[in-house]
Structure 1
Amino acid sequence: MKITAATLNAVGQTGPYAAAQPLRLAELDLDPPRPGELLVRIDAAGLCHSDLSVINGDRPRPMPMALGHEAAATVIALGDPDDRQFAVGDRVVLAFLPACGECVPCVSGEGYMCANGAAANGRGELLRGGMRLHDGDKDVHHHLGVSAFASHAVVDRRSAVKIDADIPSEIAALFGCAVLTGVGAVLNSAALRPGESVAIYGLGGVGLAALLGAVAGGGNPIVAIDPVAEKRALALELGATAVFAPGGEDGIAAPDLVVETVGKAVVLERAYALARRGGRVVTVGLPNPAERFSIPAVSLVGDGKTIIGSYLGSSIPSRDVPRYIGLWRAGRLPVERLLTSVSPLSDINALFDTLASGHAVRQVVIP
């Protein structure tokens, strides 16, 4: 079938993106779903720094690629006609790492570390191999198994989590990345205990979701660090007990848990220095692969700190998306407060300028 998708042809693009237009809205051919896959209509897709990191070259990926990895969608065709889990018309949240269920991490209960899913994502393919997108006689790579900046997508069924039909699409989309990653970093990776003190570096979609998770998990006090005044003000509204511009947090009491969401090695070093002796540092940011993280080696033993890398918030989407939606319904995860704007897909390049400026939390596009 013919679809429309935002396609990137080369990495290392610089802004302003509204002028450079690195993403091209193209008419592509989309193959039908194979067994174990779903054809979905994209209802809403969120912009994330992981998308921007592909555009600017911080996360090199094979080109050309149809971008977008955080989305809500509707199932319109099944690769398996007798599929007992999904049906045409189902509403789904798409997650950016399909877990194969067979590799060592998967059978160990750590599907967020799925070796086969990660390898497929790195190649720009779907989990079962190859690409379903084509531009004439040229294959187009999938972004993290989703490619959500599009009218339609074919995804592995393990990338989809069924949700209730009454959740607004622009809210549901945020559960696929920002919420899974940020809330999961606090509740899963760090295993926050009620009453523990928390500091969060970076107040984008993932950082503010981490703040929501810290509030829901009973963290206290919770401090937030970000250079943008509007984001600091929003953090206070969402439950932070204190906020600081970078450099202004040096006088605070060393917290039990520090969450780093910026994706810069220098910020991770500051996060490590801030944590108390015996404290935990969880990092979810994705720095440029050339960056190096430097700490005094002796401090790992002498200070007893733990550094935890958190991918997908150590989440199992089929378990945690319903769990977090339940917290949202109960008023304990006000995810809707993360939504900055809703725009047509045609505005995609200008929206990345806003994201790069730091003056957006989560922008959503409607194809």
Structure 2
Amino acid sequence: MPRAAVCREIGSPLEIVDVDLQAPKAGEVRVRLGASGVCHSDLSVTNGTLLSPLPSVLGHEGAGVVEEVGEGVTNLAPGDHVVISWVPQCGECYFCKHGQGELCEPGSAAAMSGGLLDMTSRFSAGGQPLFQMAASGTFSEETVVPAIGAVKIPGDMPLAAAALIGCGVLTGFGAAVNTADIAKGDTVAVVGCGGVGLNVIQGARHAGAERIIAVDMNDGKLQTAQKFGATDLVNASDGDPVATVMELSGGRGADVAFEVIGLADTIDQTFNMARRGGQAVLVGVPKMDVMTTIPAALGFVIMEKQIRGCWYGSSNVHQDIPKYARLYTEGKLMLDELISNEITLGGVNDALANMGSGSIARSVIKYS
């Protein structure tokens, strides 16, 4: 019987409990988790920023080994090493066929339902059903997920590093290489240098940005950002970060500015950091009632700026996960350096509480 971390109500610590896990149904696989990253989105469920049905097995950034496959699964077999995608991508719906797999219709419905593609979960405890976060539930020693939400990786890749691809890397690196239009030599600003922001930075570097301005209020995060490729560090608590970015870019502004926090004030700042004709890419997830007001004529028409939303790094997981695994093995993608702490499942509440620390990029649960 696997153990899992369950969120029962907003504002309460996660409970570590024994859970029952059904066998995979048709089109599903059972995965023995090797590792799971502790992501800010998990914290956002516990504090109500992200709406998710409860009680739920949290976790959505994981990697493991396939234990069992359901009827009709031909692309995976027991023993395969996989990264979990919290937006399963079918490849057949309108959005998948239009190059927007991150918006997959059945995958998105499953992720929001607290279940799998049939909208039901495979977890229960004490005879009572438990939802599973984002069709994943990786805060568990084992989980069942749609086969289209498990992407095969090389068997020799460390699962702790692979787990981070499942959310932080796909979201952040993908924002830079898929969502944004970064040209070689561009100046980029990244507002928010947590785990996802660090991946935006290394994605921008990979895309050819020459100057990468990291903006945060925590000096520890800024120092880490420098290790991932930031060329300039701006502590937003020392003055007006927009003015500083303007000064660093010759008064013009950044070619592309990324917001990776999800606050109204930082969204406005990010838009104002972008140059005329530039882009502001919104990566951080705000609370559902957050609004922003931008002058239509001056902001969009006369200055020809763009705002782009970014969900899951605009990723095609079936292409991008193998690509990022290859970049890691080639030494072109920093994953081990993202891991600040390796913890057991019992340490998950401390990891959530310490998420704002400047010394923590990612805590990773390792399962024995």
Q: Same fold (TM over 0.5)?
A: yes
Deviations 1:176-228 (CA, angstroms, capped at 9, x unpaired): 11110001000000132211110101111110001011111110111101111
Does residue 49 of the first structure (1) align with residue 40 of the second (2)? yes
CA contact (8 A) 1:228 1:359 kept: no
Q: Which amino acid aligns with 1:250?
A: A
| CA shift for structure 1 position 115 | 2.1
Distance 1:238 1:99 in 2: 30
Deviations 1:146-190 (CA, angstroms, capped at 9, x unpaired): 000001000001111101111111111111111100010000001
Does residue 106 of the first structure (1) align with residue 105 of the second (2)? no
Q: Show the counterpart of 2:323.
A: 323
Distance 2:14 2:273 in 1: 39
Q: Show the counterpart of 1:362.
A: 362
Q: Show the counterpart of 2:161.
A: 171
Helix, strand or coil at the partner of 2:243: coil
Larger mean CA deviation between 348-357 and 175-184 belongs to 348-357
Larger mean CA deviation between 150-159 and 259-268 belongs to 259-268
Helix, strand or coil at the partner of 1:279: strand
- Identity, in percent, stands at 37
Q: Show the counterpart of 1:270.
A: 269
Alignment equivalent of 1:74, drawn from 54, 62, 65: 65
CA contact (8 A) 2:242 2:272 kept: no
Q: Show the counterpart of 1:189.
A: 179
Alignment equivalent of 1:130, drawn from 113, 120, 123: 120
CA contact (8 A) 2:89 2:317 kept: no
- Give matches, 1:23-38, under 5 Å: 23-38=14-29
Distance 1:56 1:358 in 2: 20
Could you state the TM-score of these two structures normalised by the residue count of structure 2?
A: 0.94
Does residue 309 of the first structure (1) align with residue 346 of the second (2)? no
CA contact (8 A) 1:3 1:152 kept: yes
Q: Show the counterpart of 2:342.
A: 342
CA contact (8 A) 1:339 1:362 kept: yes
Deviations 1:127-161 (CA, angstroms, capped at 9, x unpaired): 23311111223211110010000010000011111
Q: Show the counterpart of 1:155.
A: 145
Q: Which amino acid aligns with 1:160?
A: A
Distance 1:112 1:176 in 2: 13
CA contact (8 A) 2:26 2:73 kept: no
CA contact (8 A) 2:220 2:358 kept: no
Q: Which amino acid aligns with 2:361?
A: V
Unaligned runs of 5+ in 2: none
CA contact (8 A) 1:90 1:162 kept: yes
Distance 1:53 1:104 in 2: 29
How many residue pairs get aligned? The number is 357
| CA shift for structure 1 position 237 | 2.1
Q: Which amino acid aligns with 2:17?
A: A
Q: Show the counterpart of 1:16.
A: none
Q: Which amino acid aligns with 1:316?
A: N
Q: Which amino acid aligns with 2:222?
A: R
Helix, strand or coil at the partner of 1:68: coil
| CA shift for structure 1 position 359 | 4.0
Distance 1:63 1:104 in 2: 30
Does residue 352 of the first structure (1) align with residue 359 of the second (2)? no
| CA shift for structure 1 position 357 | 4.1
| CA shift for structure 1 position 72 | 0.8
CA contact (8 A) 2:328 2:334 kept: yes
Q: Which amino acid aligns with 2:187?
A: S
Distance 1:347 1:137 in 2: 26
Cα RMSD, aligned residues only = 1.3
Distance 1:293 1:362 in 2: 29
| CA shift for structure 1 position 45 | 0.2
CA contact (8 A) 1:225 1:249 kept: no
CA contact (8 A) 2:254 2:275 kept: yes
Q: Show the counterpart of 1:64.
A: 55
| Pair 1:118–1:358, CA change in 2 (3 A) | farther
- Give matches, 1:291-310, under 5 Å: 291-298=290-297, 299-310=299-310
| CA shift for structure 1 position 109 | 2.2
Distance 2:191 2:23 in 1: 43
Does residue 39 of the first structure (1) align with residue 30 of the second (2)? yes
| CA shift for structure 1 position 105 | 0.8
| CA shift for structure 1 position 107 | 2.1
CA contact (8 A) 1:74 1:92 kept: yes
Q: Which amino acid aligns with 1:26?
A: V
Does residue 118 of the first structure (1) align with residue 108 of the second (2)? yes
Q: Show the counterpart of 1:285.
A: 284
Q: Which amino acid aligns with 1:339?
A: I
Deviations 1:22-74 (CA, angstroms, capped at 9, x unpaired): 10011111110001000000100001111000001111211101000000110
CA contact (8 A) 1:125 1:131 kept: yes
